Structure 1
Amino acid sequence: MELPAEKRQRSDDASKPSALAAPVSINAWYLTPEFTTPFREAFTSPQLTTTYTSSSGPNATGTIVAEPFHTAKLTNILPGEFLQGLKTELQTLNWHERSNDLYTFLQTDDLALNPLPHIKGLRDYLASDEFVGLMETLTGTQLARGHLDIAAQRYRKGGHLLCHDDDVHRGKMARRIAYILYLVDEAWSEEDGGALALYANDEAGQPREVVARLVPEAGSLGFFLTGLVSYHTVEEITVSDPLRERWSVTGWFYGPTGADTPDHPPLAPVLPAVGPLDGAGALEEWVCADYLAEGAQGRICELFAEQSSVQLKGFLRPDVYARLMAEDPWAAAAELRGPPHLRRYLEAQPTSCSPTLAGLMAFLRSPAFAELLTKLAGVEPVAASQQLRRFEKGHYTLIHDEAPEPPGLDVTLSLQPAEREWDDKWGGATHYIADKDELLRIAPDANSLSLVLRDEGTLRFVKYLNHMAPEPRQEVAMVFAIAPDDSDSDEEEEEEEE
């Protein structure tokens, strides 16, 4: 489900219809016992996917997906004329581009106070006793009146929303039901992307893999119960025509929190264990001679002191890099890393790599390389973690409060197969942020070494690599633990003495 839109001050007495609202008439069959009784019985029971179809009146179907968590879709729920008027009004609004580690889409402001008749009519009806009562009846879930989030989203080609669970609490209220009113065109199909994909959980309560999908369908309403098991994603939009977009109106119904609300299960560490600098290798054997000259090292160190980052192009000797690529760094078997609400990429072990790559990874853990980093960055590395990573289409890393990365010197050697100017629309860049402001963005670049000093307040993520990317992102990624600065310790001691 999409994240909430920016809100303006409002009254939550939204159940009172506005005189200016366009009239809304739900498909009457969805209100009859012929539908509600068997649907509720199935939705509240551990049954397999079930579909109910109206026997008279406007064509309508109600589908329940029981696994991995209860999700449903009601087709032809509102009149086509009303939905066309709604979409026409939405087209006139200001749309804000939303893009971070988790998602990329366009979104409106909160629609609760929007006075346009179809938008207001939809809001009034969704918050009405009739519809909230219907949601309670169909799901067996207690909901609160006067608490409803509503906004609209547009997903363009490459747009997505990655794995998350919508489990959000606000005081004594929590999200209980997420809903999506689809406003896609009639021709939208599974090949166009944008499906609501549902994750099964492992024994530890972490999302594992997608096991069910609901494809967007014009004029249908999807909804599901939110909580610790409701991990889901909006899959990437893969339309061939960039003018086609996935439109929807989304939000949540709220209800009282339970007396004993469980916590999210703990996450495994993001990085492999930090190890000693015990590798071997000589600088002249691996590093381009330009970076071994004392004058060049001094200039790089000055630049790093000013910016806390530097990117060194052509870092490895050309003959070494050519040999590395010829041996195919990814011939070795790799393991997919997760869980998907934290990361998705392939990792290979040095012991299974080509001889040149295995030697390179040992060199990058050597005291000789650490000494070079001291000359280039002015810091003293004392230990390091190391990963050989490959990001294919659909791979990414996410920022997660429960899995913070330790601060240190990020050292990333890009192993792209060829020199290519990386296009930001492909994703795949590393983004550094602090207080939601982007500080730095580093794109993959063949034979390039990036150094970034990351403190406690700086976070990073690798943006989702979408289907338009011409090649994977592959790299040796390291984080070096830094020896404490003696001058800082002396200053702290002086302050304590004073």
Structure 2
Amino acid sequence: METTSSSPIKPRRKDKDEDGCTEEDNSKDQGGEPQRKILRLADAPEAKEVFLNETYQQPEVTQWLQKTWTAGKTQEIKEEHTGAQVFADPFQICLLPGMLKQGQSQALVAEIIQKVQWSRKQMDLYEFYQSTDLSNMPTCRLLTNFLQVLRKQVRPWLEKVTNLKLDYVSASCSMYTCGDYLLVHDDLLKDRQVAFIYYLSPWEGAEEWTEAQGGCLEIFGSDDQCFPQFPVQRKIAPKDNQFAFFKVGSRSFHQVGEVTTFDYPRLTINGWFHGETNEAFVADSLRAFPRLNYLQPDSLNKPPLGLFLNNVYLKSATRRSIQKRIEENSEICLYEFFKREKFELARSQLLADSDTLKWWRQGPANAHNYEVLDLTTARGTILELIQLFRSHAMFDLLRDFTDLDLAGAEAERPTCSVELQRWSHGNYTVLGDGLAGEENTLDLVYYLNAAEGAAVITYLSPDAEMPAGKTPMDGRQSDYEGEEEDDSVLLTITPVDNALNIVYRCEGTTKFTKYVSRNTPLEKGPVFVISCSYKE
């Protein structure tokens, strides 16, 4: 099969963003919808400047924090006078309640409502609203003043507490509405030294959130290879006028849990204190994710395709038509691929068998979060389907569908990887998870118990680059917001029951499976995906 590396999959232009809004709608949304989400605020006091709480400027408090921070003890320590807390496990975090003088968070939020212009950020790793850097907001007097407080007062104070040399500050506003999130990452870039979050939640009755409202800063422990591990080790709920900071390092893994309340947005001012090259950066850049395990076709099992496949896909004319379509577009969706009774039997068994089938969570947390079936526990129709995807008969069929050298006397060493996945709320994969195509592969994706919005897969071009000035908050050079990035999205696979998606993926093509929001209806139970990759 012939295809070009510059266009591994025929692009499908996205006319709408993930919220279903057109670009014109988004331009209106800049000063419209985000503002409407945060108008639930009592009259805010007028202010021309913001001021630090004088308590944190007292020498004895600074000395206590410096001593506690540098000691690096594993227990939680709290300063009785200010309520400041330092956690050393799994990495150092400091919480400073009441950072600004009373009432000033209300004034900041009032200015944010009136003047901040928001951009919608959507990618594999996150979905939320973000402002430009505070240094680019000349009309926002209080936010500009807050940035000056960070530069002139907080930065030298943090240098004393952390014993780090800090050169400058970058900061922006973030807003998470219901369904928004930021997945696991470590913030590690070359010159980032200290990350910070200042929480703004001055609404009566919602000054401190509960875990049920979501939006927590969720902290992960890590293993010996510096991979973050499930489950979440610590949760810090949004609290008005609280300042949190932590040292950025190879183990500073955290995420913003999905906001689940419709009542209030999660508003923060957040960013980094920068300095010389972070000593953890070089070592972290060598970290590699685990790879898929490829096996040769199973010669022991010889399932007759006629017992499983829809008869239409066994016809020579149909196979020629499929091959032509894949040669032209590098992808196809084959509806009602298996006989209906086989599909129904497999789905029923997956939903009903909670004793025999054993599942394990696929990590690490900064790459994957979904469940994978232990194939040694598969029985009945499920086992038959797994064996079918590994059989010589399937390799023969895929050769006819694609003209790839997957079977026959001249085939050198074709291999495949087969997973049966279970997808529920909170599951995802991200870019850079080790699944980028280092060589050409043929992907198969088959859904059982499909639900709209769960296990949606997006393929991105190998040449996808983020336009200048669009660097996301985690620092990676990839995004696809707006018209300029639209061409990077090659294909989106949406769940359809008993449909087999075939995608020829060229070297360098990346993919991710979109985060399953808690707004996604899963009344019928989890979504199951048989995910396979084949190599010549």
Do both share a fold (TM > 0.5)? yes
CA shift for structure 1 position 150? 0.9
Residue 124 of structure 2 is aligned to residue 97 of structure 1: no
Per the alignment, residue 195 of structure 2 pairs with 178
Paired with 1:261 and 1:161, the residues of 2 have a C-alpha distance of 21
Select which of 401, 405, 418 maps to 1:386. 418
Q: Deviations over 1:422-462 (max 9, x none)?
A: 1x4xx531111120521111122211111111112310011
Query: What is the letter of the counterpart of residue 271 of structure 1?
Result: L
Query: What is the letter of the counterpart of residue 468 of structure 1?
Result: N
CA contact (8 A) 1:270 1:404 kept: no
Indicate how the Cα distance of structure 1 residues 161 and 326 shifts in structure 2: closer, same or farther if over 3 A, else same: same
Per the alignment, residue 155 of structure 2 pairs with 132
Residue 62 of structure 2 is aligned to residue 36 of structure 1: yes
Per the alignment, residue 446 of structure 1 pairs with 497
Residue 455 of structure 2 is aligned to residue 428 of structure 1: yes
Per the alignment, residue 462 of structure 1 pairs with 513
Per the alignment, residue 530 of structure 2 pairs with 476
Indicate how the Cα distance of structure 1 residues 258 and 288 shifts in structure 2: closer, same or farther if over 3 A, else same: closer
Q: How does 1:57-76 map to 2 (within 5 A)?
A: 60-76=82-98
Query: What is the letter of the counterpart of residue 129 of structure 2?
Result: L
Per the alignment, residue 170 of structure 2 pairs with 149
Indicate how the Cα distance of structure 1 residues 300 and 258 shifts in structure 2: closer, same or farther if over 3 A, else same: closer
Q: Deviations over 1:322-375 (max 9, x none)?
A: 221232366401111111111111111322112111111111111211222223
Paired with 2:309 and 2:202, the residues of 1 have a C-alpha distance of 55
Which has a greater percent of strand? 1
CA contact (8 A) 1:275 1:383 kept: yes
CA contact (8 A) 1:22 1:120 kept: no
CA contact (8 A) 2:428 2:516 kept: yes
Q: How does 1:82-121 map to 2 (within 5 A)?
A: 82-91=104-113, 92-115=115-138, 116-121=140-145
Paired with 1:216 and 1:280, the residues of 2 have a C-alpha distance of 57
Query: What is the letter of the counterpart of residue 179 of structure 1?
Result: F
Select which of 10, 14, 23 maps to 2:49. 23
Compare relative contact order (CA 8 Å, sep 6+) and give the higher one, 1 or 2. 2
Select which of 149, 158, 162 maps to 2:179. 158
Paired with 1:380 and 1:95, the residues of 2 have a C-alpha distance of 50
Per the alignment, residue 396 of structure 1 pairs with 428
Query: What is the letter of the counterpart of residue 166 of structure 2?
Result: L
CA shift for structure 1 position 378? 3.3
Paired with 1:105 and 1:260, the residues of 2 have a C-alpha distance of 28
Residue 403 of structure 2 is aligned to residue 352 of structure 1: no
Query: What is the letter of the counterpart of residue 113 of structure 1?
Result: N
Per the alignment, residue 371 of structure 1 pairs with 396
Q: Show structure 1 runs of 5+ residues with no match.
A: 1-20, 55-59, 483-498
Q: How does 1:198-347 map to 2 (within 5 A)?
A: 198-209=219-230, 210-239=232-261, 242-257=262-277, 262-264=282-284, 266-278=287-299, 279-328=301-350, 331=354, 332-347=357-372
CA contact (8 A) 1:398 1:462 kept: yes
CA contact (8 A) 2:455 2:513 kept: yes
CA shift for structure 1 position 235? 1.0
Per the alignment, residue 197 of structure 1 pairs with 218
CA shift for structure 1 position 124? 1.3
Paired with 1:89 and 1:428, the residues of 2 have a C-alpha distance of 39
Query: What is the letter of the counterpart of residue 121 of structure 2?
Result: R
CA contact (8 A) 1:272 1:387 kept: no
Select which of 76, 86, 91 maps to 1:49. 76
Q: Show structure 2 runs of 5+ residues with no match.
A: 1-46, 407-413, 465-478, 480-487
Per the alignment, residue 493 of structure 1 pairs with none
Query: What is the letter of the counterpart of residue 99 of structure 1?
Result: Q
Query: What is the letter of the counterpart of residue 512 of structure 2?
Result: F
CA shift for structure 1 position 410? 0.5
Per the alignment, residue 5 of structure 1 pairs with none
Query: What is the letter of the counterpart of residue 107 of structure 1?
Result: Q
Secondary structure in 2 matching 1:400: coil
CA shift for structure 1 position 286? 0.8
Residue 465 of structure 2 is aligned to residue 414 of structure 1: no
CA shift for structure 1 position 165? 0.7
Per the alignment, residue 15 of structure 1 pairs with none
Secondary structure in 2 matching 1:250: strand
Q: Deviations over 1:127-148 (max 9, x none)?
A: 11x221111122222211xx21
Per the alignment, residue 489 of structure 1 pairs with none
Query: What is the letter of the counterpart of residue 226 of structure 2?
Result: G
CA shift for structure 1 position 62? 0.9
Query: What is the letter of the counterpart of residue 360 of structure 1?
Result: L
Paired with 1:235 and 1:29, the residues of 2 have a C-alpha distance of 31
CA shift for structure 1 position 276? 3.1
CA contact (8 A) 2:333 2:500 kept: yes
Indicate how the Cα distance of structure 1 residues 429 and 66 shifts in structure 2: closer, same or farther if over 3 A, else same: same
